[in-house]
Amino acid sequence: MDQILRNLSNYVISVMLFIIGLLFFIKYVGAGDIETQPLAMLVSSLVLIVVGVLVSPYVMDRLEPKVYRGLLAAGTLATLFLAYSVYDSIDDEIGFQRAKLRFEEVTIQRLTDIRDAEKAYFEVHGAYTNDFDTLFAFIVAAEMPVKFSIGSFHDTLPEPMSYEEGYVLKRSGVSGKAAEMGLEEEELLDLIKRDSSPYKVRDTLYTSYFAENFTPEKREAKRLPILSMDSLTFSPSSSERFLIDTTYIEGGGGLRQSALVVIDPTPFGRDKVKKDTLRFGSLTEAHVDGNWRQ
């Protein structure tokens, strides 16, 4: 009995290597699309199976020295190839993940900029647009209302009385009023800013979305990358234009609400592998949330 156990123990390593190699091979073959599986996995499984057979006492006792040395040399070369394949696959994966992160960062920033511009368009026009050219025209046009206010009202001259007495000026009327008072325009504005004059300035001016958000100075102040209008609506991984669509959905109280979706049609990734499609908005729900970490 002891002799049988000793004989079996001599095969433990051989059997373990063979089984491990066989399991790797089964996993490789059964993974579905073999083309997407790493070559190193196939090589390693075959090497383990072959080595498991060669190191068994039954085979080693029957091999001639020359044959054994040849197989040993072949095993050494296969091991070196396997080590290189593993290193190359790891290095390739690291490079892929870095590139994926770069492309996703650019894509998310472009989608975010488009979303913010669409939200501003919605505030002015009451609905989203499904045409990038229309959105661009809005971005550069002076359509965004901006409240212009200089000077503050107080108890001795409250707002209603100030309007009645003619002390509330439009921005365009400051120059004429300053001339009447024998002052330069900037002098009167300075007095109003310091509340040293009964006059106040209340007006609604119009500016462009680009001037308020997309100029290099505004982007730097917000610690955002400089924006290129030429590439804003294109996927960085393929230079294909983002897909954009709008519709109307039923909202609360039976009111129809404008809905918007923008999608990257060609997300970055490996061929024949499911990719993470970045998008924001929905055509079935009234939101413009992105499917990335907000």
Q: Which one has a higher pLDDT value, 158 or 134? A: 134
Q: Is residue 75 part of a domain?
A: yes
Whole domain around residue 55: which residue ranges?
2-96
Residue 32 has pLDDT above 60, yes or no: no
Q: Is residue 235 part of a domain?
A: no
Q: Is residue 233 part of a domain?
A: no
287 confidence band (pLDDT: 50, 70, 90): very high
Total number of domains in the chain: 1
Helix (H) or strand (E) holding 231: none
Residue-wise pLDDT for 81-114, tens only, equals: 766 766 677 777 788 889 999 999 999 999 999 9
Residue 186 has pLDDT above 90, yes or no: yes
277 confidence band (pLDDT: 50, 70, 90): very high
> Mean pLDDT of all residues in the chain?
83
Q: Is residue 144 part of a domain?
A: no
Q: Which one has a higher pLDDT value, 17 or 162? A: 162
Q: Is residue 207 part of a domain?
A: no
Cβ atoms 202, 148 nearer than 8 A? yes
Long-range contacts of 25-33 (CB under 8 A, 24+ apart): 25/49, 33/272
Q: Is residue 138 part of a domain?
A: no
Q: Is residue 61 part of a domain?
A: yes
Helices marked H in the chain: 2-9, 12-29, 39-54, 57-60, 65-125, 132-140, 159-164, 174-180, 185-193, 209, 216-221
pLDDT value of residue 56: 67
Average pLDDT for residues 2-11, to the nearest whole number? 54
Q: Is residue 111 part of a domain?
A: no
